[in-house]
Amino acid sequence: EKPYTKIFSEFHHSTNKSVAPSEGSIGINYGWSGDVKYHMGANRSIKSGETVETRLTLANNPSHLEYVNPVVQGFARAAQEDRSKPGYPERNEDSAASIVIHGDAAFPGEGIVAETMNLSQLNGYRIGGTIHIIANNKIGFTTESVDSRSTHYASDVAKGYEIPVIHVNADDPEACIAAARMASEYRRLFKKDFLIDLIGYRKYGHNETDDPETTQPLIYKKVKAHPTVSRLYADKLIAQGAFSEDEYAKIKGEVVDRLKAAYEEMKQREGQEAVHQTPAPLGEATPKPTGVPLAALREINSELLTWPEGFKVYPKLQRILERRADALNDGEKVDWGHAETLAFASILSDGRPIRITGQDAERATFAFRNLVLHDPETGATFCPLHRLPQAKASFAIHNSALSESAVLGFEYGYNVFAPETMVIWEAQYGDFANVAQVLIDQFISSGRSKWSEKSGLIMLLPHGYEGAGPEHSSARLERYLQLSAEENWTVANLTSSAQYFHLLRRQASLLGTDDVRPLVIVTPKSLVRNPRAASAPEEFEKGSFRPIVEQPGLGRKADRVERLVLCSGKVAIDLEDALDKEKPGQWDWLHIVRVEQLYPFPAQEIAAVIARFPNLKEIVWVQEEPRNMGAWSYAEPRIREIAPAGAPVRYIGRPERSSPATGFQQVHALEQQFIVSQSLKPSPTLTHNLGR
């Protein structure tokens, strides 16, 4: 029941010309991005205001249209779950259902279809079945089925999932209704998917201007001669004596008149309703305190190490976990996994539900999380966050299918539908997110700009150069920075457990507000157990997330500093390690700043550091990724804008390469040693008096 006037308006107007171009822009900027009309979603309430009300949600979708399938199912799962109580969310599969309409060429052709159907019976993704409809016109743009699939039916992909498939003639409305009723009843009884192959034809071309006769002349000779479904159904009713030709003509005339009236009304309107609003800017830059009193953290920590009577923890893991008992005492340190668990627990105690999934989310790929414990004798499992007395909301954690696209799309949909929930997807390795690039490009990075769709989804992408080869090193950080604009998300590369703790809590505080944005965190691999990445207990009680972190012990004599090193992530720890191996006090000429938040770029914070050093001779960006990857191409122009006059901006790191990393450990070690040594070696242009 979308008003016809609005539909006609969207076809009639291509731009909102009342908005002036932005000052200084190249070309025309009408103030918002938006999307084409047939990608827009919608919301409608049926029986609004009554005791029983049905909410109908049409998901926004891009032209990679099958990629919306897992998003829709994420919507349904979020709608089915009650997250207001501790433990796993309570789920009612009868409270929401999903319907997905596919193309006949896309259903067998796009792998995301099978990926999504594979989720249907998995614990973390069950929704009691989806009703699938293939809108089968037997042509994919200009490609006939003989060239688009190897199976007889477009629906044959579904056979492997043991679900009913009905083929129905789209020329028979009553048969179509019967198929739909059967699908609904089957889902209600058996909580499984159901597929309707709705076989019809495409009367016109692929779009409003396409001429299909250039590629399918014989088919369209038949289509032009074929009566429409309304004519066929009218003839059937007339033959049965239930209807007259005059009644048919009258009803058809009334419909056409309503359309004409709506079109004339649209033309009379001077303006056009806004179909899209520009994303709201972020709120005040002053960060909110995200610390938690140590007393509260110690109480939580004690509960996390309390297991049910009779439950036995794997001995090796038990010893590791029990070491956390004293980690919050003076003089101790909290490692990465412990900091994450404390962040989750404190967020739950604030009443914020959490959902985290990934291929190894329960344990984590690098075995630092271990939030689901396994009894080695009975096989029983236990999650300490499910029995946390302080928790005021649910906690869901699931190992996912070996899938990136479908799982990430599901989590995005869940988060959009349940914006109050902290939803986290973790890649097994950061590189593996490449497989989900369509979801990242079309939904996560741009959904707010195109559709005003708000998301606070968190992506955890393990990243770090440790000689593990091309596919286990780089999270392709450069891709996320290339997609960064209009404050569309936050991209961070962290070096300490406290920073991770505060960033998670900051994200939780933004959920459900206009300031919420997705969060991309480049998480560590070797650093999860590196003592240099562990943080003192007091750092969790005080302060908040810091976009930049200065290397302690450097920059004390401001007039002596001639080189400023900017870096991000693990390489900063490598530099710190090298500094500690040399004599203290010989680094007066050097200062190092860790850029923990890459986007939005902390230009003001870095500029304030630069302003402290009057004799700065150069600024160097250091990274372990190749020159054409990592953050250098993104950071360079931003650094040059704030660099003092006469101070060059240089790069130290690996040269440009087509592959992210070497597969040989010895080569990796030599490259890494060279990067560190060059970063700490004075260049000939420096004039400090240290006797070198």
Q: What digits encode the pLDDT tens for the residues 598-623?
A: 999 999 999 999 999 999 999 999 99
CA dihedral 132, 134, 140, 144 (to 10 degrees): 130
What gap in Å lies between CA 106 and CA 113, rounded to an integer? 8
Q: Which of 199, 145, 138 is nearest to 168 (CA)?
A: 199
Helix 632-642 × helix 603-611 angle, to 10° = 50
- For position 330, what pLDDT does the model report? 92
Q: Please list the alpha-helical segments (H only) found in 440-521.
A: 447-451, 477-482, 497-510
Name the residue with higher pLDDT: 4 or 207.
Answer: 4
Q: Which of 302, 319, 311 is nearest to 381 (CA)?
A: 311
Quick: pLDDT tens for 643-678. 999 899 999 999 999 999 999 999 999 999 999 999
Which tokens go with 268? 């009379």
Helix 229-239 × helix 245-268 angle, to 10° = 150
The stretch 575-589 carries a mean pLDDT of 86
Does residue 237 carry a pLDDT above 60? yes
Name the residue with higher pLDDT: 399 or 28.
Answer: 399
Name the residue with tokens 């414990």.
373
> CB-based contacts of 7: which residues, under 8 Å, 6+ apart?
none
Does residue 18 carry a pLDDT above 70? no
- For position 24, what pLDDT does the model report? 39
The stretch 43-61 carries a mean pLDDT of 86
Band (pLDDT 50/70/90 cuts) for residue 267 is confident
For the ranges 142-151, 380-389, 566-575, 679-688, which has the lowest average pLDDT? 679-688
Does residue 123 carry a pLDDT above 90? yes
Quick: pLDDT tens for 172-211. 999 999 999 999 999 999 999 999 999 999 999 888 788 9
Which tokens go with 282? 């972020």
- For position 271, what pLDDT does the model report? 55
For the ranges 16-20, 107-111, 217-221, 676-680, which has the lowest average pLDDT? 16-20
DSSP state of 291: -
- For position 40, what pLDDT does the model report? 85
- Tell me the whole-structure pTM to 2 decimals: 0.93
The stretch 246-273 carries a mean pLDDT of 87
Taking residue 447's Cβ as centre, other Cβ atoms within 10 Å add up to: 23
Q: Which of 527, 518, 528, 472 is nearest to 491 (CA)?
A: 518
- For position 683, what pLDDT does the model report? 78
Which tokens go with 442? 């079309």
Share of the chain above pLDDT 90, in %: 83
CA dihedral 204, 205, 207, 210 (to 10 degrees): -130
CA dihedral 318, 532, 347, 486 (to 10 degrees): -140
Does residue 450 carry a pLDDT above 70? yes
What gap in Å lies between CA 172 and CA 179, rounded to an integer? 11
Does residue 104 carry a pLDDT above 90? yes
Does residue 433 carry a pLDDT above 60? yes
Q: Which of 332, 318, 308 is nearest to 370 (CA)?
A: 318
- For position 585, what pLDDT does the model report? 67
Quick: pLDDT tens for 346-388. 999 999 999 999 999 999 999 999 999 999 999 999 999 999 9
Helix 497-510 × helix 336-349 angle, to 10° = 30
What gap in Å lies between CA 440 and CA 436, rounded to an integer? 6
Which tokens go with 366? 């690098």
What gap in Å lies between CA 80 and CA 70, rounded to an integer? 15
Provide DSSP, 398-431.
EEPPS-SHHHHHHHHHHHHHSTTSEEEEE-SSGG
Bridging pattern class, strands 519-523 and 548-550: unpaired
Does residue 692 carry a pLDDT above 60? no
What gap in Å lies between CA 579 and CA 572, rounded to an integer? 11
425 in Cβ contact with 459 (< 8 Å): yes
- For position 432, what pLDDT does the model report? 93
- For position 279, what pLDDT does the model report? 55
- For position 20, what pLDDT does the model report? 38
For the ranges 4-8, 19-23, 33-37, 310-314, which has the lowest average pLDDT? 19-23
Share of the chain above pLDDT 70, in %: 93
DSSP state of 527: G
Longest dimension (CA), the chain: 108
Q: Which residues pair with 443 in a beta bridge?
A: none
Band (pLDDT 50/70/90 cuts) for residue 326 is very high
Does residue 14 carry a pLDDT above 80? no
